[in-house]
Chains A and B, each alone.
Chain A
Amino acid sequence: NAGVTQTPKFQVLKTGQSMTLQCAQDMNHNSMYWYRQDPGMGLRLIYYSASEGTTDKGEVPNGYNVSRLNKREFSLRLESAAPSQTSVYFCASSVELGQNYGYTFGSGTRLTVV
């Protein structure tokens, strides 16, 4: 099925551990995004990639790095996890602005840092 695939769905990390969240889309979208969702704060943009080979910081980039490996894949890395990074992470991709503009979201990764 076409869409955005995120792995893993659940993860528990110890403080200081590192991990990479994987995201892939098969809709040939140029733009991809990583958001985090916390209670009462909606979704906040961590990083985005407007096209293959480019990445830019969003609203809350500290503690994260990203890689746009190719047009399909956009990964998010936590180098040294902290309890404040406990959250639900969503990857998304989008078509360009216009009448067909819209996002497709992955199903999310629930991360707990202890």
Chain B
Amino acid sequence: AQSVTQLGSHVSVSEGALVLLRCNYSSSVPPYLFWYVQYPNQGLQLLLKYTSAATLVKGINGFEAEFKKSETSFHLTKPSAHMRDAAEYFCAVSDSGSSNTGKLIFGQGTTLQVKP
């Protein structure tokens, strides 16, 4: 079965500093990978996704992630944090199995705090 592990339930950075949120996955087949962001009391918004095209994926709000098959990782980065980036971030992997329908498996989430 596929699974996702997000390293660090809380990450704190200063405004302007590099953001690095870690995600490792396990999958027996080539995965689809996603990062979602959730602002307080809101739903989930897609940041970016990897669907077997380019391994470096650029998303919204200046975020990007690199798919590294050898490390089974899909870490999320942003060069310079803004206060508005404070939110909870979820990494997810598709569980395609033998069907054409992908059930998303989510990590536990990482709360990003941005300090002024």
Contact = CB atoms under 8 A, between A and B. Distances in A.
Interface of A: 30-31, 33, 35, 40-45, 48, 50, 58, 90, 92, 94, 96-99, 101-103, 105-108
29 contacts: A33-B103, A33-B104, A40-B9, A40-B108, A41-B108, A42-B4, A42-B106, A42-B108, A43-B90, A43-B104, A44-B106, A45-B105, A48-B103, A50-B99, A90-B43, A90-B44, A97-B96, A97-B100, A97-B101, A97-B102, A101-B51, A102-B34, A102-B46, A103-B34, A103-B46, A103-B104, A105-B43, A105-B44, A107-B42
A106 B106 CA distance: 16
Nearest to B102: A97
Contacts of A102: 34, 46, 49
Interface string B69-92: 000000000000000000000101
A3 B100 CA distance: 22
A107 B51 CA distance: 25
B101 to A, nearest CB: 4
B43 A106 contact: yes
A45 B51 contact: no
B101 A108 contact: no
Contact of A42 (B53, B99, B102, B109): B109
A30 B101 contact: yes
Given A45-B103, A50-B99, A106-B43, A97 B109 contact: no
Given A103-B104, A105-B43, 17 more contacts: A41-B108, A42-B90, A42-B106, A43-B106, A45-B104, A48-B103, A50-B101, A92-B104, A96-B100, A96-B101, A97-B96, A97-B101, A98-B51, A101-B49, A102-B34, A102-B46, A103-B46
A42 B110 CA distance: 9
